[in-house]
Each structure stands twice: as C-alpha cells, then as structure tokens.
Structure 1
Amino acid sequence: MSITRYMKNFFRYKNLLFELVKKNIKLKYRRSYLGILWTLIEPLLTMMVLTLVFGTFFGNDDPQYPVYILCGRLLYTFFSSASKAGLKSISGNAAMIKKVYVPKYIYVLSSVISNFVTFLISLIVLVGVGAVLKVEPSFYIIQAIVPLLILFVFTLGLGMILATLNVFFRDIEYIWTVATMLVMYASAIFYQTERIINTGNGWVFNINPVYMCISNFRDAVLYAQPMNMHYCLTSAVVAVITLIFGAVLFYKEQDKFILYV
C-alpha cells in the first residue's frame, strides 16, 4: 500500500522533476559560449590527450585504443559528475527546501538524471570516433544498456547517501573529490588491465562496480562479445543494495535537513 502511495506522489511531482532536470542542464552551460556542444568537445579533446600520452608515448599501437579510452572516460565522467551533483543537491537547494514542500529525493534524482542526459548526448562522440576507426557494431551492442542502467542505479543510490551525509558533514564534499580520483585510477580508463592482473592486484577490479560497468560496456561496444556475467550480477547487486541503503538513510534523516541547510 505504501509503495502505491509513493508512486502516486512521484507522478504528482513528475513535471517538477522534468523542470529541475532542464534547469540543471541549463545552469551547467549557462556561462559557456559553446553550450551543450562542450559535452561533445570535452570528451573528444580528453581522448586525444590520453591517446597521445598513453598510446603514442607508451607504445600502445592498437588502432582502436581511442575507443577504449572513450568508453571508460564517458562512463566515469557520468559517475563522477552525477555523484558530485547528487552530493550537493540538498544543500544547494536550501532556499527552496525552506520555502516550498517538495519530496526531497526529487532534488537528488533530478541531479543524477540531468547528468545522465548529458552523458547520453556525449555518446554521439563515441559513435563518431568508432565509425572513423572502423569499430564494427554487432548484435551484442544491444546489451550496452545493461551496464549503463546498473551504473545509473548505483550512482543514484550513492548520490542519496552523499547528499544525506553532506547536510550534516560538509567536509564530505572534499573527501569525495579524493575518492572519485581513486575510483578513476581503479577503473582502467586509460590503461590495459592485463598488466595489473599479472602483478596480483587484479582484486581492485573485482571490488569496483564502476570498472565492472565500464568493462561490460566495452565488451558490448568495442569487443563485440557477451558481457562478463560475474561482473554484471555483482555490480547489479551492489547497485541495488546501495540504492536501498541510500533511500532508507535519506528517508530516515530527511526531516532533519531543514535544521542544517
């Protein structure tokens, strides 16, 4: 019965959610001359720099290496930017929270969705680079949606946890900046995993759901092969647990937000 009530409440505020998503996207590019085009240019420039450094200088002669980088970079950028936006979503909307009643999870959800929309737009770059470098799409490309959905759920749950903690402990923002940098280096964005596994440090990938999503996305888009089901199931379970924990924590503490924001 309570689930039905929550669903009705969600659909009641669906228009507000849509407006908040639009607002977040507009604010992100408000002072940019390039606007939404920067969503396409930034990953392309980053890919070129990383390819030059880790490809040319370190002797990686794989002609499709730029696609390898781009797959990892795009997914990590979504995770990083969306989790940081979710972290600030409650404290950043303090004025509205104090004046108008809105289900507070709407702010976290809109922050993650707006970054996901931006991410989907940036996939245009991946399609273009893949076409230029002759990456042939296969039937397995359909499965790419699975790691993307898992990463979305995981990021949303994490965003709710971070948003809750940030209301009471503002240092969380700085701690999370360092944490996302660690996640980046543990997600094999610009290096091949074989060398790390051979050193006995492959366990890093087995505890990192972000890497698992990136790896399965690469399998679907770049390597035209089935997903690693162990990675798929493990990351899905972690994502669902994170979302449930985040939702419970958020719901339990949300009535106190107004006293601290």
Structure 2
Amino acid sequence: MKKFSVRLRAFTQYKDLLIQLVEKDIKLKYRRSFLGYLWSVLNPLMIMVIMVAVFQHMFRYTIENYPAYVISGQVCFNFLSESTNQAIWSITGNAALLKKTYVPKYIFTFAKVTSGCVNLLFSLGALLIVFIVCRVQLSVYMLLLPLVLIQLYVFCLGIGMFLAAINVFFRDIQYIYGAFLTAWMYMTPLFYPIEQLPDNVQWIVKHLNPLYFYVGQFRDIMIYQRLPGNTIMLAGIAAAMIAMIVGTMVFLKVKDNFILYI
C-alpha cells in the first residue's frame, strides 16, 4: 500500500508532462494535414462506408441499422489498435530522453494510450453522424457511455504497459502483435452478427474475448438503448483489471533493465 501511494504521488507530480506528451502526439498526428482533426471523423466514416458496401447484402436481414452496428464496433477496435500499437514504442521511442534525465518510464505509455483516447473522443463525431443518418434514437442510457470507455481505456493501458515492456527486449513483438490484432478483429463480431458463428466459437468469443465485452456494452447502450447485462459488464471490468494488474506488474519488474537495451 505504501509503494502504491508513493507511485501515485510521483504520477501526480508528472501530470503536466503527461499533458504535454499527449498534446505533442495529437499535434504530430495531424501536422501538415489539410483537414486536420476532421480526419478523426472522416476516417472511421470512410472505413464504415466501405465495410457496409461490402457486407450489407450479406447481413442486412439480420442486423437492424447495419451502418450504426458497424461503426460502433469499429470505434472500439480502432481505439484498441491505435493506442496499443503506439504504446509498443513508448519506451524505445523515447530512449534518448530516458538516458539523459529521470522521468517515470510508464508516463510515456500512459501518454500514448491517452492520446489514443482523445482520438476516440473525436471519432465519436462520426458515430453521431451515422446515428443521425440512420435515425437511431437518443436515450438516457447513452449517459452510461463513459463507464464503458473507462473499462476499455484501462484494458488498453494494461495491454500497452505489457507490450511496451516486452518490446524493449523482443523487438519482433510488433510483428507478432500485428498478426494477433488482425485475428482478434475477425474473431470479434464487428461487422457480422455473432449468431453467424458456430456454437462452440460463440462460447469462446462471449467468454474469452475481452473486446467483445466492450463492443457488446457499447452497442447495448448506444444502439439497443438498454442496460448491459450484469455478466458482460462484470466480465469487462474483470478483463480491464486483470490486464492492468498483469501489465503493471510486468512493467515494474523489468523497468530497471530498460536502460541496458534501449
């Protein structure tokens, strides 16, 4: 408990650095971009249009408001993919700074995942546009959206901490994780109904796929206008806590050896 309080105080001392790092990441992403921050809205919209054009005839009879269904899953997956891929390089990419001065190493991973979260908030503008076009009614349940996003943020932060630590010692992790993400995308019902899967695969997705927990809650709140079930909500919270605990433990265990490999 004492160590936790010490680390918490250290984190608060560097909150200004965290804010500056997040601002730098966002500015760099849109530097020399003609449309700037509008790309956070346009990019998910364009991907959604392509996916709807390809898959709508396949699933149009089983999924109501298919464009809204697609973009709601896509927004969650894009945040997971972007934030964790950026987190992989959060330590090795700041090697020069870490060698010159003392800065809590985890602050760089926090910054990458947090900047991804900011981009997620921008992309909610695309979600709103699709909801308006598809005439998805607004409901009071949408006020619960932050609860889902917090779970997803903590989960991505835990995954990011683990990947950042491992990547210092095994640089091939980026390629392995890229292939894993592709498989993860197709194993999550982002653009197809879960009922299309065999029963045994459905069980695996519903019980062992953390991304499904967050996409399912997201759609319950935003599209189906209902409270998520207790099972899927508790599963999402548990997955986030496990990822955060494991990622933090691995990161803290090996962080003192970073300087020898970066």
Q: Could you tell me which amino acid in structure 2 is paired with residue 163 of structure 1?
A: A
| Equivalences, count | 259
User: Which stretch has the larger CA shift, 45-54 or 224-233?
Assistant: 224-233
Deviations 1:174-231 (A, max 9, x none): 00000111111111111011121x5432023221111110011000000011102211
Distance 1:188 1:63 in 2: 14
> Contact between 2:59 and 2:192, CA under 8 Å: does it hold in 1?
no
Deviations 1:11-35 (A, max 9, x none): 1111000000001111122243222
Distance 2:208 2:225 in 1: 24
Distance 1:47 1:53 in 2: 10
1:143 deviation in Å? 2.2
> Contact between 1:186 and 1:204, CA under 8 Å: does it hold in 2?
no
Distance 2:88 2:59 in 1: 39
Q: Could you tell me which amino acid in structure 1 is paired with residue 19 of structure 2?
A: F
Q: Which residue of 2 aligns with 1:211?
A: 212
Scaled by the length of structure 2, what TM-score is found? 0.95
Distance 1:46 1:228 in 2: 29
Give matches, 1:1-261, under 5 Å.
Answer: 1-56=2-57, 58=58, 60-61=60-61, 62=63, 64-196=65-197, 198-205=198-205, 206-261=207-262
Distance 1:210 1:228 in 2: 16
Change in CA separation of 1:220 and 1:97 when aligned onto 2, cut-off 3 Å: same
> Contact between 2:189 and 2:212, CA under 8 Å: does it hold in 1?
yes
1:111 deviation in Å? 0.2
Distance 2:30 2:181 in 1: 23
> Contact between 1:55 and 1:65, CA under 8 Å: does it hold in 2?
yes
Distance 2:3 2:173 in 1: 32
1:59 deviation in Å? 5.3
Q: Which runs of 5+ in 1 are unaligned?
A: none
Q: Which runs of 5+ in 2 are unaligned?
A: none
> Contact between 1:216 and 1:231, CA under 8 Å: does it hold in 2?
yes
User: Which stretch has the larger CA shift, 1-10 or 228-237?
Assistant: 1-10
Tell me the secondary structure at the aligned position of residue 200 of structure 2: coil
Distance 1:3 1:184 in 2: 35
> Contact between 1:157 and 1:247, CA under 8 Å: does it hold in 2?
yes
User: Which stretch has the larger CA shift, 27-36 or 62-71?
Assistant: 27-36
RMSD: 1.3
Scaled by the length of structure 1, what TM-score is found? 0.95
Change in CA separation of 1:50 and 1:19 when aligned onto 2, cut-off 3 Å: same
Q: Could you tell me which amino acid in structure 2 is paired with residue 52 of structure 1?
A: A
> Contact between 1:138 and 1:224, CA under 8 Å: does it hold in 2?
yes
Distance 2:4 2:201 in 1: 43
> Contact between 1:81 and 1:115, CA under 8 Å: does it hold in 2?
yes
Change in CA separation of 1:59 and 1:249 when aligned onto 2, cut-off 3 Å: closer
> Contact between 1:39 and 1:118, CA under 8 Å: does it hold in 2?
yes
% identical equivalent positions: 39
Q: Could you tell me which amino acid in structure 1 is paired with residue 241 of structure 2?
A: V
User: Which stretch has the larger CA shift, 7-16 or 199-208?
Assistant: 199-208
> Contact between 2:87 and 2:109, CA under 8 Å: does it hold in 1?
yes
Distance 1:145 1:251 in 2: 28
Q: Could you tell me which amino acid in structure 2 is paired with residue 203 of structure 1?
A: W
Q: Could you tell me which amino acid in structure 1 is paired with residue 74 of structure 2?
A: R
> Contact between 1:141 and 1:224, CA under 8 Å: does it hold in 2?
yes
Distance 2:212 2:236 in 1: 9
Q: Could you tell me which amino acid in structure 2 is paired with residue 28 of structure 1?
A: K
Distance 2:229 2:143 in 1: 15
